Chain A
Amino acid sequence: MKFDTPAGQNPIDQLKVVGKPTDRIDGKYKTTGTAPYAYERHDVVPNQAYGYVLGSGISKGRVRAIHVEDAKRAPGVLAVVTTLETPRLERGTMNTAYLFGGDAIQHYHQAIAVVVAETFEQARAAAFLVEVDYAAEAGKFDLAAEAKGAPPVPSDSGEGSGGDGEERVGDFEGAFAQAPVTLDETYTTADESHAMMEPHATVAAWDGDKLTLWTSNQMIAWGHGSIAKILGIPKANVRIDSPYVGGGFGGKLFVRADAVLAALGAKAAGRPVKVALTRPLIANNTTHRPATIQRVRIGATQDGTITAIAHESTSGNLPDGDPETAVSQTKLLYAGANRLTAMKLAHLDLPEGNAMRAPGEAPGLMVLEVAMDEMAEKLGLDPVAFRIRNDTQVDPQAPERPFSHRDLVGCLRLGADTFGWAKRNPRPGQVRDGQWLVGLGMAAAFRNNMVLKSGARVRLDGSGTVTVETDMTDVGTGSYTIIAQTAAEMMGLPLDKIVVRLGDSDFPVSSGSGGQFGANSSTAGVYAACVKLREAVAQRLGINSADAVFADGAVRAGNRAVPLGEAAAQGALSAEDTIEFGDLAKKQQQSTFGAHFVEVGVDADTAEIRVRRMLAVCAAGRILNPKSARSQVIGGMTMGTGAALMEELAVDTKRGFFANHDLAGYEVPVHADIPHQEVIFLDEVDPMSSPMKAKGVGELGICGVGAAVANAVYNATGIRVRDYPLTLDKFLERMPDAA
């Protein structure tokens, strides 16, 4: 199905199933420990051996020799595969660093060997018997030092943000010079780790030259093609299965070393092998969100109308890597005639920087929305009012392009009313509650809506059950449930008559999960397949499909009502289709909007910061399931709070690696850090987006929330810290004497 005209009335608009806050259909499996994740697929193939991955102990240079004799002699060891005996393997989709093969070390903990043994304990013990000789080389590890002279580089995050290395509208410099009120500040954000709870893990089994990988991956079709390319085998010989993914956040968009080394280990051992990256390896072996240095300049008239806005970001990456697209939202969020955005890229020899939840917008809004707060204060304007004053209904770089639907102002107003924003004291450092200095902060949320081609197969059987198959993944997003809701709505069935099967490369290719494009795109694909199935049903029953009404488990046409299962009495009916999106997204800008409001307390003695209240108001088209969508938003708010307050991969700039590479050293928020979180969805639809009239929402929650935290901290203390994370050490010297 081609989607190239705005959606009209369609069966989804009935909202009998779609749009309801349904409990997840996979909930009973997840809560009982019976949902199968990659490393625990004991049932899929017998005789699995265990692989243990070794990471490089240097950050840059060459491996001279790997001594494996002792390891090979160790009890239970079946095989040792080293990078030296393997030619450098091709890279898969979106890989920047090479995953395995050859003697070159690009980054710390790069995989250099896998030890395969009968048991995990034996593989782990033998791995420590491997000795490696290195020839270390000097590398570049310090972003601040390399930032000077970093050139502008175009980039596309692949997740809805990106652009040219430098983009200009009007005369920024001239307008900024003439603006009566200006701001020019530089901010930094830290390297961050996805730290998903399920480590990257794969079971690999060869059957002749055919390879099956039971793995944990967000993008099955990418992974499928990548594994074939990396291993140099035909795609037809590879199958990937990933029905449950224990968190990805962008870290499992692509094939990583676990999959490659499970496949190589299985080949070498001559039997199935399973590999999970150990937790201490993950931060440096895999990918991370790159740190940024961002400069924002805003010029405005006395009444608060922005006349000039510039946002420049510098980040680092390995050769062939991309810059963090941290300036993209600044092209679209606020009006202003004169504009400049730039992304600069420094070469660093740290591990690969790549997509992490809302790449671009997450770190970009952490900065832009603090700059807006600072500018509002300079103007003597309320931060909400300042943003409303500079709202735009068109793409400021191309005013002929309207937004398909934009209600940022509605989010801001409803949020301010609901949160009690009017009670905020605009003078910072004035409100005290016992030991706590209390402050309120807010920020706008913005994230582009992406739509990707997505396919599905649906099959109706004689019992009236519809089975949906698509290689879409559920990474915690609720895909199983919203896909079932979509099929149920389309076929007029209750949810318990829908079976959803996901994550298998034998199924039709979907959008996959990333960039908050998954929910809308994949359900639209299911919609398309169901349209075909409805036609097939009507044809089988001899009714005109235009007259057929699918409801209450039956098909009605005129006075005739036939139970749906009867259409498949003579044999199952199957239909497959793919939704393909035309150029609607080019004609009109599709984005999602929101507003974050946060209250923090800052300990008057120690400057410990604790979040006390949080509210997000979101405008993201039709909400397919308010329960799971709300969870996506609070999850983003939680991760964004971590980015604001604690998350930082600590770079050893001398040795070139992230030193705090485990979950004790890299702190993410725990229960005690997160208060009750409130989310309000504006009731809206966007027919430009898809037949579902939905948009992405999975990343909107993280966009802007960090700035709202930072602005609240400023309101509480009067201290503006422009270097994330906002840890107490950056406040202590400036804290007022404790009372």
Chain B
Amino acid sequence: MRSFTYERPGTPAEAAAAVARTPEAKFIAGGTNLLDLMKLQIETPAHLVDVNGLGLDRIEATPEGGLRIGALVRNTDLAADARVRKDYGVLSRALLAGASGQLRNKATTAGNLLQRTRCPYFYDTAQACNKRRPGSGCSALDGVSRQLAVIGGSDACIATHPGDMAVAMRVLDATVETVDAEGTARRIPIAEFHRLPGDEPEIDTTLKIGELITAVTLPRPVAGTHIYRKVRDRASYAYALVSVAAILGKDGTGHVAFGGVAHKPWRVEAAEADLPRGAKAVTETVFAGAKPTHENAYKLKLAERTLGAALNQARA
């Protein structure tokens, strides 16, 4: 871990300004992913701006009938919030399916959106990885890829976004609120927040340098059965092989997003009209153009069957 300087600014705008003006600066909130990567010298910030004291830890009702979730709300608190449990069950379920109790106590809403891939080659500094060292190549393409993306990848990168919460946020049509160094606020639809790797896999999101997430807002609750079905090898404390975040009616109508399959939560709204026709009809469209490796082609079948399970659950 490189040495760094450290500050605790007083306001979100000060924090944004601090990161914008200091070379190689980063925000730190829960730290559960950033410190992990700093220990391996994968992240090497020269300056850390601690945003924990900025008061961004409240969950408030919005005038539109939705919720505004402060960027620093811990995963545990968000999952346990009575309004979230009642009206946004898919979000509560996704959070509770992620990581461990200890990590959820520390990890934040914004940090969860920003967590980086778990690709084994990203994590091994002796190996080529375009995300970690642009231009060095992608070892995963002909390497160990059972966990990696089946769609939306590129010749440069087949990493997956490893999170659960973001998949629920995607099906809920959340909006990410930010502030930049000039104090200008911006609202980014969750669909546009995470990028596909393309030929710049080192860039995970559409945030600008120094742009600080202040909140995530949810629109009015959507009626239906809220389901987050995470499939993994061991029963807990594991990343998703495939996950399905869905809000479904008894007739099968509704919305669905997939996790564990791409560089971002994967949702194809156009396919949702086919939900009453069953899982296969939907996944054929959602995963059209998929380019799995021989190790992860099973994810296509798994996604279909997992969605089928969700549809059954909604119908029951």
Contact = CB atoms under 8 A, between A and B. Distances in A.
- In-complex A–B contact (CB below 8 Å): yes
Interface of A: 57-58, 121, 124-125, 128, 280, 435, 603, 605-606, 608, 610, 645-646, 650-652, 654-655, 659-662, 664-665, 667-673, 725, 727-729, 732-733, 735, 738-739
Interface stretch (B63-71, B137-145, B211-219): B137-145
B302 A672 contact: no
Nearest to A727: B233
Interface stretch (B52-60, B81-89, B177-185, B236-244): B236-244
A729 B39 contact: no
A676 to B, nearest CB: 15
Contact of B120 (A608, A645, A659): A659
B126 interface: yes
Contacts, number: 102
A603 B306 CA distance: 10
Given A650-B120, A667-B238, A732-B301, A605 B143 contact: no
Given A435-B309, A606-B231, A660 B143 contact: no
B309 A605 contact: yes
A125 B38 CA distance: 10
Contact of A655 (B41, B139, B308): B139
Contacts of A727: 233
18 contacts: A57-B126, A125-B3, A603-B309, A606-B306, A608-B235, A654-B142, A659-B124, A667-B238, A670-B238, A672-B237, A673-B236, A728-B241, A728-B302, A729-B146, A729-B302, A732-B298, A732-B302, A738-B308
B118 A664 contact: yes
A240 B123 CA distance: 35
B250 interface: no
A503 to B, nearest CB: 31
B1 interface: yes
A606 B1 contact: no
B150 to A, nearest CB: 12
A727 B120 CA distance: 19
Contacts of B232: 608
Interface in B278-316: 298, 301-302, 305-306, 308-309, 312
Nearest to A739: B312
A543 to B, nearest CB: 61
B305 A121 contact: no
A128 B124 CA distance: 13
Nearest to B126: A57
Given A57-B126, A606-B302, A667 B233 contact: yes
A664 B127 CA distance: 18
B228 interface: no
B2 interface: yes
Contact of A659 (B143, B235, B241, B312): B143
A697 B143 CA distance: 40
A673 B305 contact: no
Give 9 closest A-B pairs by Cβ, nearest first: A57-B126, A729-B298, A672-B235, A605-B309, A672-B236, A659-B144, A659-B120, A650-B144, A128-B41
B61 interface: no
Interface in B2-44: 2-3, 39-41
Contacts of A610: 235
B234 A738 contact: no
B143 A280 contact: no
Nearest to A74: B3
B8 to A, nearest CB: 20
Contacts of B142: 654
Given A654-B142, A661-B124, A732-B302, A670 B1 contact: no
Nearest to B307: A605
Given A605-B308, A729-B298, A662 B123 contact: yes
A667 B298 CA distance: 19
A652 B302 contact: no
Contacts of B123: 280, 662, 665
Contacts of A58: 126
Contacts of A645: 233-234
B169 to A, nearest CB: 23
A646 B233 contact: yes
Given A125-B2, A664-B239, A729-B302, A655 B233 contact: no
B143 A655 contact: yes
A608 B143 contact: no
Contacts of B305: 605-606, 732, 735, 738
Contacts of B308: 605, 738
Nearest to B301: A732
Contacts of B146: 650, 729
Contacts of B238: 667, 670
A277 to B, nearest CB: 14
A605 B235 contact: no
Given A125-B1, A645-B234, A662-B123, 15 more contacts: A58-B126, A280-B123, A603-B309, A606-B309, A610-B235, A650-B120, A652-B143, A659-B120, A665-B123, A667-B234, A670-B235, A725-B233, A728-B298, A729-B298, A732-B298
Nearest to A642: B234
B237 A670 contact: yes
Given A665-B120, A728-B241, A673 B234 contact: yes
A733 B139 CA distance: 28
B120 A660 contact: yes
A733 B142 CA distance: 23
Interface string B236-276: 11110100000000000000000000000000000000000
B127 A733 contact: no
Nearest to A731: B298
Contacts of A124: 1, 39
Nearest to A603: B309
Contact of A280 (B40, B144, B298, B301): B40
Contacts of A606: 231, 302, 305-306, 309
B98 to A, nearest CB: 13
A121 B312 CA distance: 52
A291 B39 CA distance: 31
Contacts of B301: 732-733
A738 B231 contact: no
Contacts of A668: 234
Given A661-B124, A665-B120, A728-B241, A646 B309 contact: no
